[in-house]
Amino acid sequence: MTLTITIANQKGGVGKTTTAVTLAHGLVRKGKRVLLVDLDPQGQCATILGLKPEPGAFNLLVSEQPLGQVIRATDRENLFVVLGDRKTAVAQTVLNVQRSPISFTQNKICIPAARDSIDYVILDTSPSVGELQEQALWAADGVLIPCAVDYLASDGVFNIAITLKRIHDELKWKGRILGILPTFYDSVTRESKATLQDLQKRFGSLLLPPIHRATVLRECAVEGKTIFELDPSSRAAEQYDQLVGFVKSWEK
């Protein structure tokens, strides 16, 4: 069975892409076949993997090319990607005006991925709202919400939760929130600790163990490597490995 995980938060810079790429590579290292799809015009999944952005998502969603034509193998065995670039913004606009069914993105990506024996589809989304984001959420079996532990952290989470409730009630979404992932956690600052406690109070068991602020994660994008390649013995690698374990336990 193929599981689709969508990484979402309308707030920018909270660690969505870092989480999407690291989770995808982490699952691959545990023997899974994973397809990572970049649905953000910034095309940063490519950067972290040391690849060049290309209009894969646009060609899939607008030019009607089948998944088989836009999917790329990477030099990490069993990690496959559909990359994005600026043209994904055109796809966002087209989907906003086109009134395509909510299942459009799922049909384009997840159904053919399942035929291709992919274990996990990971959808990285952009920090905005619109039809493409909504279709990506609707396609998810589980939604993972990275959330930077700073001022007003819970606002972004609430916004996604409201959208999810609406697509559940009105469009019969069958997935669930996999978890809320606190990121940029700094155990030294009082603000970080207080925000984490506040998130815990509001979201209870949905809150996952935090990922600390780590300069090495920033270096990953510069080097074109995941944390498991750049510094596998770092605390960041260990914390993301825990997340991979959590996601794998959810499989059963």
**Residue 194 CB neighbour total at 10 angstroms:** 11
Which two tokens mark 70? Answer: 């836009």
| Least separation in angstroms between CB 15 and ligand ATP | 4
In the set 6, 8, 14, 16, which binds Mg ion (CB under 5 A)?
Answer: 16
Decide: 120 and 251 in contact? Cβ < 8 Å: no
Decide: 134 and 167 in contact? Cβ < 8 Å: yes
Which two tokens mark 97? Answer: 């005006």
The burial class, CB within 10 Å (0-12 / 13-18 / 19+), for 200 is middle
239 lies in the binding site for ligand ATP (CB under 6 A): no
108 lies in the binding site for Mg ion (CB under 5 A): no
Tell me the number of residues near ligand ATP by CB under 6 A. 20
In the set 173, 184, 203, 240, which binds ligand ATP (CB under 6 A)?
Answer: 184
Decide: 121 and 113 in contact? Cβ < 8 Å: yes
In the set 218, 232, 235, 251, which binds ligand ATP (CB under 6 A)?
Answer: 218
In the set 6, 17, 92, 106, which binds ligand ATP (CB under 6 A)?
Answer: 17
179 lies in the binding site for ligand ATP (CB under 6 A): no
Residue bearing tokens 């990477």: 74
Stretch that binds Mg ion, among 15-23, 51-59, 142-150, 159-167 (CB under 5 A): 15-23
What residues make contact with Mg ion under the rule CB under 5 A?
A: 16-17
